Amino acid sequence: MIISSWNIRGLNDPLKHHEVGNFLVRNKVDVFGLLETHVKEKNTATIFNKFSRYHILTNYQSHPNGRIWFFLNPRTTTLHSSVITMQSIHCTVVHNATNQKLDITMVYGCNSAKDREQLWQHLVHLSSCTDKWILMGDFNIVRDFSERLGPNPPRLSEILQFNDCLETSFPSSSVHVMLPGISDHSPLLVKVFEDTPCHRMFSFLNCWTTHSQFLPTVKNSWSVSVKGSAMFKIFRKLYLLRNGLRSLHQEGFSQLPARVKQAWVDWQDCQQLLQTAPSDNALMAQETTLMATYKTLKAAELSMLQQREKIQGINKNDCSSSYFFARITQRRQQSIVGHITDHNGNVVQGVADVNAAFVNYYKELLGEKQEVQPLDREFIASGACLPEANHASLCTAVTNKEIKDALFSIDSTKSPGHDGYSHWVFKSTWQSSWGGFYGSLLGATSDRKAPQAS
Asked, for residue 235, whether it belongs to a domain, the answer is no
In percent, the amount of the chain with pLDDT more than 70 equals: 80
Asked, for residue 166, whether it belongs to a domain, the answer is yes
* pLDDT score for 372: 77
Q: Residues 361, 364, 365, 366: is their CA dihedral positive or negative? A: positive
DSSP reduced 3-state for 51: coil
Domain that holds residue 112: 2-191
Asked, for residue 42, whether it belongs to a domain, the answer is yes
Do the beta carbons of residue 187 and residue 4 sit within 8 Å? yes
Q: What CATH number does residue 155 fall under?
A: 3.60.10.10
User: What tens digit of pLDDT does each residue of 79-128 get?
Assistant: 988 999 999 999 999 988 788 889 999 999 998 888 899 999 999 998 88
Asked, for residue 155, whether it belongs to a domain, the answer is yes
141 membership: H or E segment, kind and range: strand 141-142
Strand partners, 340: 348
* pLDDT score for 366: 82
Asked, for residue 356, whether it belongs to a domain, the answer is no
Q: Which of 120, 192, 185, 123 shows the shortest CA–CA distance to 158? A: 185
* pLDDT score for 199: 58
Q: How many domains does the chain have?
A: 1
218 membership: H or E segment, kind and range: helix 214-222
For the chain (454 residues), the mean pLDDT of every run of 10, in chain order, is 91 92 92 93 92 92 89 90 93 86 92 89 88 87 48 48 63 82 89 62 86 88 86 87 90 87 92 90 92 90 75 48 57 66 79 83 81 78 78 82 86 78 83 52 41 37
Asked, for residue 328, whether it belongs to a domain, the answer is no
Asked, for residue 50, whether it belongs to a domain, the answer is yes
* pLDDT score for 39: 92
Residue 17 exposed, middle or buried by CB count within 10 Å (0-12, 13-18, 19+): middle
* pLDDT score for 31: 94
Do the beta carbons of residue 210 and residue 300 sit within 8 Å? yes
Cα within 13 Å of Cα(261), Cβ side? 7
Do the beta carbons of residue 435 and residue 449 sit within 8 Å? yes
Helices of type H across 253-350: 256-276, 281-309, 321-334
Q: Are strands 31-35 and 2-7 parallel, antiparallel or unpaired?
A: parallel
Asked, for residue 139, whether it belongs to a domain, the answer is yes
* pLDDT score for 8: 92
Q: Which of 252, 220, 202, 229 shows the shortest CA–CA distance to 433? A: 220
User: What tens digit of pLDDT does each residue of 429-442 get?
Assistant: 877 654 445 554 44
